[in-house]
């Protein structure tokens, strides 16, 4: 398993921690790990923690990944209107995540990349906890 996924009630979302360097197929498979979490609801905020791992994606793969997350199938699983914070400790991972951010052209989720975990957590908390639609 390339990820440690859990619901963080204080954060009001999902924390996905990469446990090693992950590639395109790993991230795609991670979607199923997220939606399988007990208590997960589409539209929950997500924090993707790369501080103990990293990304192995080139620009073309970043574009493919953005298209994957924009697909109707993945949107149905993960929802929309949520914040995705990516925390990277290595400059190369920060840059790769920023390339992904640029390719994620839809306005159905908000993405920001951070070097500091607390800044990322604060940005998600500012959006408020997930609240199921009435």
- In tens digits, what is the pLDDT along the chain, a chain of 134 residues? 588 999 998 898 999 999 999 999 999 999 999 999 999 999 999 999 999 999 898 888 888 888 888 889 998 999 988 999 999 999 998 888 887 777 666 667 888 999 999 999 999 999 876 544 43
Question: How far apart are alpha carbons 16 and 49 in whole angstroms?
Answer: 6
Q: CA-CA-CA-CA torsion for 29, 31, 32, 36, nearest 10 degrees? A: 150
Residues 14, 3 contacting (CB under 8 angstroms): no
Please give the domain boundaries of the chain with CATH numbers for all domains.
Answer: 3-126 (3.30.750.24)
SS3 69: helix
Q: What is the pTM of this model?
A: 0.87
């Amino acid at each position: 398993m390339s990820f440690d996924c859990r619901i963080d009630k204080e954060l009001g979302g999902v924390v996905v921690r990469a446990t090693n360097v992950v590639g395109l197929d790993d991230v795609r498979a991670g979607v199923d790990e997220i939606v399988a979490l007990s208590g997960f609801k589409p539209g929950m905020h997500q924090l993707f923690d790369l501080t103990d791992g990293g990304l192995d994606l080139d620009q073309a793969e970043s574009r493919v990944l953005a298209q994957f997350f924009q697909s109707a199938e993945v949107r149905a699983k993960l929802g929309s209107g949520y914040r995705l914070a990516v925390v990277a400790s290595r400059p190369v991972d920060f840059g790769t995540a920023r390339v992904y951010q640029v390719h994620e052209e839809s306005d159905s989720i908000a993405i920001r990349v951070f070097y500091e975990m607390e800044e990322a957590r604060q940005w998600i908390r500012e959006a408020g906890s997930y609240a199921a639609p009435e």
